[in-house]
Chain A
Amino acid sequence: MPFPFEPDGGIGRRPLLALMPSALAACLAVPGQANAAAPLTLYSGQHPQMVGLLTKLFTKETGIPVRVHSGEGPEIANQILAEGTRSPADVFFTENSPELVLLDEKGLLAPVDPATVAKIPRRFSAVDGHWVGVLARESALAYNPSLIEGSALPGSLLDLARSQWKGKVAIAPTDADFLPLVDAVAALKGEAAALAWLKGLRRNAALYDDDEGVVAAVNRGAVATGIINSYYWGRLGTEVGFAKMKSRIHYFRPGDVGGLINVSGAAVLKSSRHPADAQHFLAFLVSRPAQKMLARSDIDFEYPLARGVAANPALKPFSELDPPNISVAALGDDRLAARLLREAGLI
């Protein structure tokens, strides 16, 4: 392919120049061009694999194609802020609530169809109805029993900042799932306590890019414990086989901030040029078929929030969780968390 010309480069062949227009055309034509039906543009902070399952089913049911732009939740939220009212995004689907809270504060979200919001228990959606909770996951501690006794595990997330945990804990401070935990500590214990806790973690913890890295490190015995969403333990289990898992999940004591429930939610952008389709997509996300499909898949270890849909049996039943008492509104928008993380030298 790279050699559309003869070795002698003979006069009059003009091979390279003949190649160029077609090459440019190929380059401009291939990526991202849509078919006839107007595609919905989805900005997603969720895992590409599960979003792939969802959009495939949605397109099959409705005929509406979906273009997906994936990234970390905070990255995409800031991208939408920078794009402003001319953002190409129709729908924003996150792993955590603070990104949606941030965009709502900036007035960029449209009200969600009340029928969609009604499908989900009210405490998991925005008070003003501008975004809807879709799935939930809980924070926990992965540990490797060959490195640490179950009895030595901490009762509280905050214990991990103590000096006896030096070198025994892993965290992923730039993962979108870590920021809400910081938000929660700051909201429940105050900013100063949160900063002290983070500085303790800075001394104690091995740093990873994401929760996948943390749980993998714990599982192979590189570090004794790691703060993760239990979701990632399930994902690793699928990957290596649950029977071969060398790590376990430890839940902090009832009501501890470490048992925070993160809400994955979705919203329609006010600037969406396809608001009807976008609302349709949100309704689809909370519909029983979509929620059941995710709960039954071996790639998504999140609790479906729609009423009456059973969670993945690999997960501890939702009713048995005992999360801290904090609302999605009180959790805030991640900006405080990002500042505290920087002050503590973690990012």
Chain B
Amino acid sequence: MEQAAAPLTFAEAGRTASGRRRPRRLLLAAAAAGPLLVVLPLGEMLLEAARVDPAQLLRLLWRPLVGELLLNTIGLLVAATASAALIGTAAAWLVERTELPGRRFFAVAAAVPLAIPPFISSYAWLSLSPALEGFAGAWIVITSSYYPLVYLPVAASLRGIDPAIEETARSLGEGAAGAFFRAVLPQLRPALLGGILLVALNVLVEFGAFALLRFRTFTTELYAEYRTGFDRPAEAVLALVLLFFCLLCLIAEIRVRGRASYARIGAGVRRPITPLALGRARPAVFAGFVALIFATLGLPLGMILYWLTRHGAAAVSPAAVSASALLEATLSSVGLGLGGAALTVILALPLGLLAARYQGSLVTLFERAAFLGQGVPGIVVALALITITIRTVRPLYQTAATLVVAYAILFLPLALVSVRAAFMQAERRLEEVGHSLGLGWPGVAWRIALPLAAPGLGAAAALVFVSIVTELTATLLLAPIGTNTLAVQVWADTSTLAFAAAAPYAATMVVISLLATWLLARRFGATRLFQR
């Protein structure tokens, strides 16, 4: 769609023989930084595994423990993706297609659980009833935390489907259910499948919730290996198995996303579909929805409030929480969040620009490599960075800088989506005008391109900020000595069953996360927000 005759802008060095614009070397080099960082911990883990002698590798792989972990992981994957798909799809259909009372409220409330990290939900459920330890608790927490990952794309997809399809089905004699299963569901398949794969990926990389719920998976076992002393080979083998599953999900997700559009002839005029009357089922459906929101939002938030009020009472925990300790932890979390967001967006900037404007195998390679970060569990990144800094770049060992790098690796994909979209929306011709008026390339980049993309960059930074404030695993392993963040403190208190002590930290974290998410959603729309 770009014309070869258009003048070059700040990002370009010239043209190829075929007339395509060629990005500046500087831009390419800058864009490579992010993907290289992401590949770094992967490479380290692979190297570690390659050093294990094959016989030992096989023995480590074929031990009963790995089988047990596989069984746990796969069992939860199946159960949680099924329940999340069911609840997410049902919720989306009810909100988008029926005259459910309070639809607008439910549409927002069904997205909010994503702002509450699963280890906070597990803290809430566990402190409600310790009987939820193990599979049952893990299933509940994962489903309630991640069903929005199915809900959001399916709801968006339902809004986009031509209502005529359903109407035709119904006019041909299908009931509401028949129309849904035979006409609508096939159309929803890409959105549904994409959502399911995201849920699966999150199950694989989750650590905090499972550790608190004492549900053993590969991540918790990696942590256990770490705690009983660095046994490199065993660690590397477990990480390999975990990475294999993650990458499988990630690749499947990318493929699904690539094929995501189903045919609809012409954009057409968006015509609201007539909402389906629920009839006598209406009170029951409404009650069900209220129960869902209660279980996914009311209960976690309620339990935190409950434990806040218990402070100083009989169930008080051993550790006294002081205002200064809370402030210190909050400042650390916010400071790391800002630093991490800054670095992540800086890394995403050149890459996002490159991905928005140019095609080619190198660009695709960079982009795919950056998206790997989504499939690398925090615990693997953290363990690899500890090894790298302790052996190779000692001055960075146990510094905030290393932790910020870990955040950048984990959240680059999140930032990249927003940054790329921002540059796609920025009008390229304005840059050309800048050049024609005599601005040099730094001037155009600084004064035209960046300000145009600023809202998208801001959204990226805010998303990364929220993710960092609620991140546990990398923070736990990499936080510099003496640094206490909100997440680490919640973890320390909850793992010793000091629920009341954890409450102020958990509450502060959830308030920051909800506030930032709410601001983001107001400014950019809820759907855009969760495009991961």
Q: 1/0 contact trace for B497-508 toward A, CB 8 Å?
A: 110000000000
Instruction: Say yes or no for B26: interface residue by CB 8 A criterion.
Output: no
Contact A23 B319 (CB under 8 A): no
Q: 1/0 contact trace for A149-193 toward B, CB 8 Å?
A: 000000000000000000000000010100100000000000000
23 interchain pairs (CB within 8 A)?
A: A1-B334, A9-B451, A9-B453, A23-B338, A27-B338, A30-B331, A30-B335, A31-B336, A48-B492, A69-B482, A74-B227, A75-B226, A83-B397, A88-B398, A88-B481, A209-B214, A213-B214, A239-B317, A239-B498, A241-B315, A338-B229, A342-B234, A347-B65
Using a CB–CB distance below 8 Å, which chain B residues touch chain A? 63-65, 130-131, 133, 211, 214, 216, 220-221, 224-231, 234, 314-315, 317-319, 331-332, 334-336, 338-343, 345-346, 390, 394, 397-398, 400-401, 404, 446-448, 450-455, 457-458, 461-462, 465-466, 479-483, 492, 495-498, 516, 519-520, 523
Contact B458 A5 (CB under 8 A): yes
| A9-B332 contact given A24-B342, A27-B338, A208-B214, CB 8 Å threshold | no
Contacts of B227 in A (CB 8 A): 71-72, 74-75, 174, 176
Instruction: Say yes or no for A148: interface residue by CB 8 A criterion.
Output: no
Q: Which among B130, B211, B454, B497 is the interface contact of A9 at CB below 8 angstroms?
A: B454
A139 to B144, CA, bound (A): 39
| A27-B451 contact given A179-B228, A209-B214, A212-B495, CB 8 Å threshold | no
Known: A68-B482, A174-B227, A345-B64. 4 other contacts (CB 8 A): A16-B457, A48-B319, A70-B492, A297-B318
Contact A82 B390 (CB under 8 A): yes
Contacts of A72 in B (CB 8 A): 227-228
Contact A77 B450 (CB under 8 A): no
Q: Which among A1, A20, A32 is the interface contact of B342 at CB below 8 angstroms?
A: A20
| A222-B404 contact given A2-B519, A52-B319, CB 8 Å threshold | no
Instruction: Say yes or no for A36: interface residue by CB 8 A criterion.
Output: no
A34 to B498, CA, bound (A): 29
A9 to B345, CA, bound (A): 16
A174 to B523, CA, bound (A): 47
Q: Which among B220, B231, B523 is the interface contact of A209 at CB below 8 angstroms?
A: B220
* A14 CB → nearest B CB, Å: 7
Q: 1/0 contact trace for A205-236 toward B, CB 8 Å?
A: 00111101100110010100000000000011
* Nearest-CB residue, chain B, relative to A84: B390
* B313 CB → nearest A CB, Å: 10
| A16-B454 contact given A27-B340, A30-B331, CB 8 Å threshold | yes
Contact A212 B496 (CB under 8 A): yes
Instruction: Say yes or no for A308: interface residue by CB 8 A criterion.
Output: no
* Nearest-CB residue, chain B, relative to A45: B227
Contact A347 B225 (CB under 8 A): yes
A79 to B343, CA, bound (A): 28
A14 to B228, CA, bound (A): 49
The prevalent SS among residues of B at the interface is helix
* A340 CB → nearest B CB, Å: 12
Instruction: Say yes or no for A15: interface residue by CB 8 A criterion.
Output: yes
Using a CB–CB distance below 8 Å, which chain A residues touch chain B? 1-5, 7, 9-17, 19-20, 22-24, 26-32, 34, 39, 41, 47-49, 52, 67-72, 74-75, 77-79, 82-83, 86, 88, 174, 176, 179, 202, 207-210, 212-213, 216-217, 220, 222, 235-236, 238-241, 297-299, 334, 338, 341-342, 345, 347
Contact A27 B342 (CB under 8 A): yes
Contact A83 B228 (CB under 8 A): no
Contact A31 B335 (CB under 8 A): yes
Contacts of A9 in B (CB 8 A): 451-455
Contacts of B447 in A (CB 8 A): 11-12, 14
A74 to B319, CA, bound (A): 24
Contact A24 B318 (CB under 8 A): no
A4 to B454, CA, bound (A): 10
Contact A78 B342 (CB under 8 A): no
* A88 CB → nearest B CB, Å: 7
A82 to B232, CA, bound (A): 12
| A32-B483 contact given A75-B227, A209-B214, A298-B318, CB 8 Å threshold | yes
Contact B454 A27 (CB under 8 A): no
Q: Which 7 A-B pairs have the closest CB atoms?
A: A27-B339, A30-B335, A2-B462, A299-B318, A31-B483, A9-B454, A23-B338
Q: Which among A29, A82, A176 is the interface contact of B335 at CB below 8 angstroms?
A: A29
Among B63, B397, B404, B454, the one with the most A-chain Cβ atoms within 10 Å of its Cβ is B454
Contact B497 A32 (CB under 8 A): no
Among B214, B317, B341, B452, the one with the most A-chain Cβ atoms within 10 Å of its Cβ is B214
A342 to B238, CA, bound (A): 14
* Nearest-CB residue, chain A, relative to B466: A2
A17 to B339, CA, bound (A): 13
